[in-house]
Structure formats: C-alpha cells, structure tokens
Structure 1
C-alpha cells in the first residue's frame, strides 16, 4: 500500500512539472505597460507641454532619472490562447518643457501627420 501511495505521489509531482497544457483551458492574456493606440499617437503634436502629453498618453512607464527630458511608454501583450505577442514603444523628448520629438513604432495617420519630421520605427 505504501508503495502505491508513493508511486501516485511521484506521478502527481511529475505531472505538476510538465509543460503539457490541458486542452480547452482558457489562459488570460497578459498585458503590461501603457496602452499605445493610433488615436493617441495622432493627438501628439510638436510643441505640446509635458502636462498635455501626459493627458494624452498617461503617466510614462519609464522616466529616465539621468535625462528628465525623455519619457518612455512601453506596452506588451502576451495572448497565450492565440500565440500572439504584441509590443509597442513610444519615446518622447522635451526641450524647454515642450515636446520636441517623439519616436514610435506606430506611424501617425497621413491626415494628422505633423509638418515637422517625426521619427517612426517600424517593426
């Protein structure tokens, strides 16, 4: 009897360490950081104040302690049900308290694109 109980405990322990997934089990998508949408990027304009940028984008995820004129917004989504991973990043730089430049992987819409050049990295 002791041997059967020990074998059962061993099998349960090994099953707990297994990377196998049970079919039909829903896993919650994990999103972290600041959500960055096309509409938010379209609202950013060169010359906006820090408070205006914070109103549009929210509190930045990273405020560089060595460069207070740079804010970084990062958003990641890990949807394990669809094997979908999404990542967006936006960096804003200020000069004299005004938005001077922003870099993002989301391009501004053509109708709202600023007259001045804006860095835009595509993934």
Structure 2
C-alpha cells in the first residue's frame, strides 16, 4: 500500500472514531430527553370505590331498639357479616383516587338478638360534604342547588287524574320478606 493511502486510511479512521465519540455524547443527551418526556406521560389510574358509603345523616337516624330490618333499610346491606360474630355488622367504605390519599370509613353496628344495641366507628361526612369531595378539579367542586323556583314549577301542570290512576302497583310475584344475611343464632 502506498504511503498516501495509509495516511488517508488513518485520517478516515480518526474521523470515524471522533464521530463515534461525539455521537456517544449526543446519544446520552437524547436518552435523557426521551426519559424526561416519558416521565411526563403517566398511566391512567382508575378510581376504585368499594363498600357502602354511610353518611352522617344515616348514622344519626339509627336508634337503639331498631330491628335488623330497620337498620338494613337505613344503612343498606352490610359489607361484612360473620358466622362467628352474628351480633354485629360491618360497614366499610374505601375510595382510591389518583394523586389523593385513600379514604377509608368504618362503622360497626351491634345487636342483641334482633335489636340494635349500639354503633361505633369513624366520624362520617354528610352527604353534601362527600359529594363536594367527589367533584372534579375542572368543575370546582361546587354542589348544584337542587331546588326548583316557582317559575320553573309553573311550567309543569299538576296531574288531573285521580290518585288511584297514578299509583304504581308492586308486582304480585315480589317476595314479601327477604332471607336473613347471617345464620340464625344458636
């Protein structure tokens, strides 16, 4: 090989090595830019609501001496009943939301036989307070006023038929009583 060809090959090799080394630095910067762009994109997180929401108004409606059916009518079906603890019902409510702390509320209702004795648990929010916490950030968390003005009510005429015409009848095959949720006491 000629001397001139060797010099050209060395020069070309030097230029290629310099280009590769320069590319490493820009590749490093590019990887940092890609990583920062990827961190700006976050995955969607589903809101998870589990259990029974019990409001302050529902807890205030409880009174010692109520039957189990009356308590179920006010609070709904309990989340937990136990064969080993047939004298109590557990109402648990959990709400998981993106970028917010998990909300958990618990209420335990105690019975003697079929009668309510007492209840204990966390302090429950009122329905209006709870609805206000559910509002999106875009809506500002305002709860709409749910009252009609007299002008709005005047747009809808009063029913003219007899009360028997507007009464809704229950289906004849509906059960009169539902089976108990827990095993009978022994």
Question: Shorter-chain TM-score: which interval?
Answer: 0.5 to 0.7
Deviation at residue 26 of structure 1 after TM alignment: 5.1
C-alpha RMSD of the superposition: 2.5
Q: Does the alignment pair 1:103 with 2:120?
A: yes
SS in 2 for 1:84: coil
Residue 41 of structure 2 corresponds to 22
Partner of 2:26 in structure 1? none
Higher-Rg member (1/2): 2
Higher strand share: 1
- In structure 1, the residue matched to 2:183 is none
How many positions carry a matched residue from both structures?
A: 89
How far apart, in 2, do the equivalents of 1:22 and 1:42 lie? Answer: 45
Structure 1-normalised TM-score? 0.63
Q: What is the rounded CA distance, in whole Å, between the counterparts of 1:105 and 1:67 in structure 2? A: 20
Stretches of structure 1 lacking an aligned partner (at least 5 in a row): 1-19, 110-123
TM-score calculated relative to the size of structure 2: 0.43
Q: Structure 2: any 5+ residue segments left out of the alignment?
A: 1-38, 127-186
Paired position in structure 2 for 1:78: 96
More helix by share: 2
1:88 equivalent in structure 2: 105
Structure number with the bigger relative contact order (C-alpha 8 A, sep ≥ 6) is 1
